[in-house]
Structure 1
């Protein structure tokens, strides 16, 4: 029979060996999930990010799988050696491992030295890898811990000494991910999509190791448990992970924990209870539950806990209703509050103790009724995990209710949903840790959907809120046994939202197609203009004609090429017009061959008009050009009338009368770069497209609403024709018109406005002032050159603008970006920081506090 060290070494080698194909499968699953997310994403920026993450992950697959096995083997052996030294350490004193942090410390800010404290929020994001892995392995891990402790010669189970514990796998993978030469956002995506596959693969590895140990006739050690301090003796803070501690009055006994969710009909022995009446024990267990999942979730509850809950419940039922007035009624808001611009209204206070409208939320509008539900569920709890799950829900609701980004009625709705969330936590205590869980998705989807609105008194917001109220009230009236009611509620709401979105999508897609085509056409026109500028026959061509050639005619040629379905060399023959046009305006040449000009002129003018008509250009827009072109051709036309007896090909030049045709400006240098169409200019759009895309809606809606830029006040009219596709002049200064600006506070510095604009991506929300009203609009498209933007507000109303207009609106605080990052995720991050600060060492508290203040 093999010795214990040999058995342990065999397990270590087997675990490291299995890690290589396991990681390969994890990467394959993550790549498939990334590809699926990419195909379903409506945001171009998000699709690009997902594609880049997928490609980079595939590139690391081979090297990582080999490196992962080698790194794990080193860490396993180091951990095993340290565990051998720690076997002399009394149970309840958790050894610190320099290689891999202990379970309780892995999720703390201190543990993430691999990012060198440069980004605490990213460290919290990566800790979710372990949080998502633990639920998948909790049952097999509990059994493996008993067997590994037995192999290590320990009389009782000490999970923190297991060299194969999940945090070893997770942190080794994290270190490898963060060492990759990619952006942190890509690392975050990798962690998110690798978490679920890693949990499944690690469960298979543990099951294989359990089978190997059982075949070696290893008998599992027992768990070392504590008697509740209620039996007497001094209290001492124990180790929540192992259930051990020191102090008088504590007895020891070995037992095997029941499966997750198991509730015995027989009362547990006192030695198996956790005393949650002790604040220190409760704090430790809460931190352990939040970060380490199921290590103590299955423990029973001490009789003292039920006694305290019973007293609390009796007091609640006996207490009279508080005299606290409800929050401002929907029908009678505070005087003047509704008249304040939506973006400038002060935040109304909402928290888990808020009195809500009973007209809207029924009995659960009263905080006392919600407290009774919470306390009754705490009384029905049988395991530590259930009580901790209820505590997490209470704190989570409190954080979301105080999120200033959400409108007050939305925060009230989350508070009103607390009873249903509490009932869900009783049957699924860890639901909040799974981003795809229906309970968490329902909260997040409602919050994200509410970002479409910025005015709680608007009709549009009321239409959004009413179905949410009905869904939440229905949930509060149901008996929650699993996640299915939340899934159904979300499906019903999502169907209603999808119907609204589909109604708006068709018009939006048509507009986007027109803008994308205009941008593509402009890009091709710039290339054509560059080709034209290199022609050798540009000498002595008037600047007027060169401007037309490099701008309007290059656009016509680009349009013909993009719409050509027959793969022609010169669609519509627009390219052949160029040499004729250039020849026709060279006076010295045409006066010698007037017959040729007479012959080509009708066809030339017809082609020019046809090309501009193809663009959808109003004929009046090109009147000036054709009038000037006619003046350039006038000498030849006059010559024909005066020389009726001579052959046109032998005719000589006739003097030109100055008053009939003033000499145009000529460019004799063949280098025409100064006359090229500007590639940085916005794409040209016809008047119909401009109106449909909502360019007029983004212009100031009353005199004085937009102050002029300091550096272009003299060139207001010029800027309207060069930088603004709509061609509408900017408004005059507010002080000249006597009309107050809707923006409050000082103007934003140009550099800051430019930074905010660079940060805007498709899918981001903004508050936009348009036509005397603040609207919540979403950026649905930004040109690849960053010169054109389209926003859409409620009802599918488009609002398009150039980069210059967008920067100006930001500077004058008429366009304000809105932060819409994950509501539930940020609340959980804040909750994790609080738990870490309350349970960590004094040196650990400063980092979370700094992050909360940031």
Structure 2
């Protein structure tokens, strides 16, 4: 029996509870009460500081700040509450989105100086406010996560987190033309009172949720095989944002990192020399922190992490001559680091196929970077990158590469057929004789028969018939008049000779079409039994008065999920190693040559949980649970319309799935994301967040 707060961290999120909307409304009601009081308190604190200030310039700035508070008190409260209401209205949609870092290196590089300073203002106010509200926030978030439908605490998706209050306050002040100087003093003076007000709010809302019977969610902790608690950070590596910082680490602020990225070199010769020294120091710090993050990333095997750290001296040396190489995705050194870390994600054990060859290649990379020689260090990276790419190509047998190419071509055709079948199904629905046809016949037409007609049309477009006469696809459509008429008791019973005459050719054409797409007879046997039952009933009906018109039904075929079912012919399924989610696991194609990962399924990070197939990105690595084993696979291709996916292993084995198949694996917790971003990108984003945290402490 697990201890309290140790839960199934990988279960899919539930639907939000009704208490969520009520809680957010209660929060807004409470905000209407304390926000005006907070503004009055800020006004008083600014006035006190102005009176105590001896420096004329600062005293004048404080005077302007508290006067602006006094003038715009009601407007600030009104705008702030409106901004909060807008953010809370977006809360359900935001909860369904994938988590993203608070700040990425790419975002920072695109920012202007004003945006950087604004992020620093927010960080400072947020950190100060959290000192007072942290405990109450954690307690409240645990209950709110349950109301949101999460089984584990998800603080980043709490729509009432401190960051939201600070950001909406700042946007309100900017909208009212409060000067940057006054705005900065508002935030600096008001951060502590804001934290105290939020502490009261969070405690009130936590008690309110408790009164509604909402229990706290658990934290992202799972039970390992020996009943050892494994927290998220242990699985992903140490967080750069935790633990004491050295003086060197504290050097990296957001402003410094931004200047490094944009290459700010303003000033005279002396200033440029000082700037160059600072740039080299900052670049070295970025490389150090980046490699520190990679060194603790436990998605990479320990020997790989060790060899990556041996590359650090070469990267530091490169940073002295090219301080911004890490931010340039086209730089050979950055590309080499990306390639090594990306390929290493394929391996979960030192016994995996291909691992020994990869490790040998990695050792060669390290040796070439560390050896003394006349060749300039920067010139070695392109050569090593080419060698690594060639090694990666050799690791996949030629036959597997060719099979993967054929699989992609086949899947493209399958999706084209499916999309055409959907259009054909709509053509069938638009027929005037379609609505009164019995449901089983309608579902057959908009499902499998639409696939039959689609295949025939595609075949005719690719290979136009050489003989005269009606094309096959036209024959398959022409029988619909007889098929729909014969299935309606009220009509067919009035013309028995016609009924007897059309039944044989209709049945013959139906079976011909189904055979053309290799559709199993047993899957449509129930339909044929129903159809023959309708024909028999029509034949036995003696008088038209006995045959009442069939009532018009809601067209279930429009909502029938089987209509969208993608059908593969037998040779197509074999060519793409198709995973049919409707069959037992033991009958599914697998990665026979792949070794199972050397850890239990429950040991995997909670953040790896997926929502549905729409969140899959090509190039991402996943763990697939199959036949009691967790296998490491990569999404190598997705069809243009997102209906088909092709997964592969490092050794080149492939498996295709439909979107429905992927969704079912996710629902059953049998597919989890390992990495949907570059390892290097994630490490650099952590560096940017470290710089933001450092800035907030100053």
For 1:748 and 1:389, locate their aligned partners in 2 and report how far apart those are by CA, in whole Å. 33
SS in structure 2 of the partner of residue 763 of structure 1: coil
Give the C-alpha shift of residue 487 in structure 1: 0.7
Spell out, residue by residue over 1:799-843, the C-alpha distance to the aligned partner (whole angstroms, 9 max, x if none): 4445565445435543211234233344344445556666x5xxx
Give the C-alpha shift of residue 470 in structure 1: 1.8
SS in structure 2 of the partner of residue 457 of structure 1: coil
In structure 2, what is the equivalent of residue 531 of structure 1? 427
Give the C-alpha shift of residue 560 in structure 1: 2.0
Spell out, residue by residue over 1:530-561, the C-alpha distance to the aligned partner (whole angstroms, 9 max, x if none): 43334343587554434333322222122222
In structure 2, what is the equivalent of residue 547 of structure 1? 443
For 1:701 and 1:606, locate their aligned partners in 2 and report how far apart those are by CA, in whole Å. 33
Alignment of 1:379-778 (within 5 A): 392-479=286-373, 480-500=375-395, 504-538=400-434, 541-565=437-461, 566=464, 571-585=473-487, 596-597=498-499, 599-630=501-532, 632-633=534-535, 653=542, 668-671=550-553, 673-676=555-558, 678=560, 681-696=564-579, 743-744=601-602, 755=611, 757-778=613-634
Spell out, residue by residue over 1:676-720, the C-alpha distance to the aligned partner (whole angstroms, 9 max, x if none): 5736743233344445544558689879xxxxxxxxxxxxxxxxx
Give the C-alpha shift of residue 770 in structure 1: 1.7
- Whether the aligned pair in 1 keeps the contact of 2:490 and 2:549 (CA below 8 Å) is no
Are 2:697 and 1:845 aligned? Answer: yes
Give the C-alpha shift of residue 444 in structure 1: 1.6
In structure 2, what is the equivalent of residue 334 of structure 1? none
Spell out, residue by residue over 1:643-677, the C-alpha distance to the aligned partner (whole angstroms, 9 max, x if none): xxxxxxxxx9599xxxxxxx9x9971355612457
For 1:836 and 1:618, locate their aligned partners in 2 and report how far apart those are by CA, in whole Å. 61
- Whether the aligned pair in 2 keeps the contact of 1:577 and 1:604 (CA below 8 Å) is yes
For 1:481 and 1:297, locate their aligned partners in 2 and report how far apart those are by CA, in whole Å. 30
Give the C-alpha shift of residue 489 in structure 1: 0.2
Give the C-alpha shift of residue 796 in structure 1: 3.7
- Whether the aligned pair in 1 keeps the contact of 2:610 and 2:673 (CA below 8 Å) is no
For 1:762 and 1:549, locate their aligned partners in 2 and report how far apart those are by CA, in whole Å. 34
In structure 2, what is the equivalent of residue 851 of structure 1? none
Alignment of 1:19-34 (within 5 A): none
SS in structure 1 of the partner of residue 368 of structure 2: helix
Of 765, 772, 791, the residue aligned with 2:647 is: 791
SS in structure 2 of the partner of residue 535 of structure 1: coil
For 1:119 and 1:794, locate their aligned partners in 2 and report how far apart those are by CA, in whole Å. 27
Spell out, residue by residue over 1:273-324, the C-alpha distance to the aligned partner (whole angstroms, 9 max, x if none): xxxxxx9899769995884457599989x9xxxxxxxxxxxxxxxxxxxxxx
SS in structure 2 of the partner of residue 604 of structure 1: helix
Greater relative contact order (Cα 8 A, min sep 6): structure 1 or 2?
2
- Whether the aligned pair in 1 keeps the contact of 2:617 and 2:676 (CA below 8 Å) is no
- Whether the aligned pair in 1 keeps the contact of 2:101 and 2:685 (CA below 8 Å) is no
Q: Which runs of 5+ in 1 are unaligned?
A: 1-88, 90-115, 131-166, 175-278, 303-381, 640-651, 656-662, 704-725, 729-740, 847-854
Alignment of 1:239-318 (within 5 A): 291-292=259-260, 293=263, 295=265
Gap change, CA 1:747 and 1:391, over 3 Å in 2: closer
For 2:690 and 2:442, locate their aligned partners in 1 and report how far apart those are by CA, in whole Å. 68
How big is the alpha-carbon RMSD for the aligned residues of Structure 1 and Structure 2? 5.2
Alignment of 1:97-246 (within 5 A): 121-122=102-103, 124-129=105-110
Gap change, CA 1:821 and 1:696, over 3 Å in 2: closer
SS in structure 2 of the partner of residue 420 of structure 1: helix
Give the C-alpha shift of residue 612 in structure 1: 1.0
Gap change, CA 1:673 and 1:392, over 3 Å in 2: closer
- Whether the aligned pair in 2 keeps the contact of 1:694 and 1:797 (CA below 8 Å) is no
Give the C-alpha shift of residue 485 in structure 1: 0.7
SS in structure 2 of the partner of residue 775 of structure 1: strand
Spell out, residue by residue over 1:156-181, the C-alpha distance to the aligned partner (whole angstroms, 9 max, x if none): xxxxxxxxxxx779989x9xxxxxxx
Greater Rg, structure 1 or structure 2?
A: 1
- Whether the aligned pair in 2 keeps the contact of 1:557 and 1:575 (CA below 8 Å) is yes
- Whether the aligned pair in 1 keeps the contact of 2:102 and 2:689 (CA below 8 Å) is no
Spell out, residue by residue over 1:311-357, the C-alpha distance to the aligned partner (whole angstroms, 9 max, x if none): xxxxxxxxxxxxxxxxxxxxxxxxxxxxxxxxxxxxxxxxxxxxxxx
For 2:108 and 2:493, locate their aligned partners in 1 and report how far apart those are by CA, in whole Å. 82
SS in structure 2 of the partner of residue 818 of structure 1: strand
Gap change, CA 1:668 and 1:528, over 3 Å in 2: farther
Q: May I ask how many residue pairs the two structures share in their alignment? A: 452
Q: Hey, which of these two has a bigger chunk of helix by percent?
A: 2
In structure 2, what is the equivalent of residue 140 of structure 1? none
- Whether the aligned pair in 2 keeps the contact of 1:539 and 1:668 (CA below 8 Å) is no
SS in structure 1 of the partner of residue 297 of structure 2: coil
Gap change, CA 1:830 and 1:762, over 3 Å in 2: closer
Alignment of 1:352-367 (within 5 A): none
Gap change, CA 1:421 and 1:584, over 3 Å in 2: same
Give the C-alpha shift of residue 771 in structure 1: 3.0
Gap change, CA 1:517 and 1:404, over 3 Å in 2: same
Spell out, residue by residue over 1:145-197, the C-alpha distance to the aligned partner (whole angstroms, 9 max, x if none): xxxxxxxxxxxxxxxxxxxxxx779989x9xxxxxxxxxxxxxxxxxxxxxxx
Deviates further, 692-701 or 478-487:
692-701
SS in structure 2 of the partner of residue 755 of structure 1: coil
Of 589, 611, 635, the residue aligned with 1:779 is: 635
Structure 2 length normalisation: TM-score? 0.52
SS in structure 1 of the partner of residue 602 of structure 2: coil
For 1:581 and 1:410, locate their aligned partners in 2 and report how far apart those are by CA, in whole Å. 65
